[in-house]
Amino acid sequence: MRPEIVLASRSPRRKDILEKLNLSFTIDPPDIDESPLKNESPIDYVQRIAAAKADLVAKRHDRQTIVIAADTTVALDNEIFGQPRDLNEARLMIQKLSGKTHSVLTAISVRFDGKIANAVDTASVTMREVTSELLEWYLATGESLGKAGGYAVQGHGAALVEDLTGEIETVIGLSVVLLSRLLGDLGIDLGIDLGIDLGIDLAIDLAIDLAIDLESL
């Protein structure tokens, strides 16, 4: 009998990825303080938050429950960009990222039977020079809120992106390859198909087409 799986996250993107992997799971989002510590590096920050989420939720469930937690942050010159509190903060974030290459770090933390597996994957994203018109158009979509760095690469936010190096799932918030590896480290085989089509590439292609149409903005 397969152990119960709990996703310790409110993220609709992580929920969507697990659903597309045909996994049966429940959601138990943690409530923790996600403020960075003084002088904390982006990688230390994202690892700490993911582990804290997993630890908190694991305490609420049986030891034989698989608890999956993750955290994603954007970093530029060691500055941490979390989720904007409002559209004005999202505007400031995107203005800082405009025309620059930044890192997107996603940490995954898995708990099962008293055992722990943690890891981080990093991708690089180059944002195009975002005009004020394009920026205001994007903010009007309402997509910025709830996204690290104030944009969603799998949505309208792809219109802001010039290049991406690494796994797209890492930028979205849950690397399937990394998750499968961590589960394996704990002796868990959920039969995850690493070749499954998550439908992400099509969404990005459509957004890129939209970006081309917006070049005149």
List phi, psi (to 5°) of 167.
-80, 130
Q: Per-residue pLDDT tens for 45-88?
A: 999 999 999 999 999 999 999 999 999 999 999 999 999 999 99
Residue type, 182: L
Mean pLDDT of 165-184: 94
Helix, strand, coil % in the chain, rounded to nearest 5: 40, 25, 40
**Res. 217: pLDDT tops 50:** no
Active site residues per annotation: 71
Q: Which residues of 32-51 are buried (b: 16+ CB within 10 A; e: fewer)?
A: eeeebeeeeebbebbbbbbb
Confidence tier at 208 by pLDDT (50, 70, 90): low
Structure tokens at 37: 């510590």
DSSP E strands: which ranges in the chain?
Answer: 5-8, 26-27, 66-76, 79-81, 101-112, 115-127, 161-165
DSSP 117-133: EEEEEEEEEEEP---HH
Pairing state of beta strands 161-165 and 5-8? Answer: unpaired
* Domain ranges for the chain: 5-213
| Pairwise CA distance, residues 152 & 141, whole Å | 11
Q: What percent of the chain has pLDDT over 90?
A: 81
State the pLDDT at residue 111: 98
Structure tokens at 16: 């969507």
Mean pLDDT of 168-192: 94
Q: Per-residue pLDDT tens for 21-53?
A: 999 999 999 999 999 999 999 999 999 999 999
Pairing state of beta strands 115-127 and 161-165? Answer: antiparallel
Which fold would CATH assign to domain 5-213? Maf protein (3.90.950)
| Pairwise CA distance, residues 158 & 56, whole Å | 33
**Res. 214: pLDDT tops 80:** no
Quote the pTM value.
0.88
State the pLDDT at residue 204: 53
CB 176 within 8 A of CB 21: yes
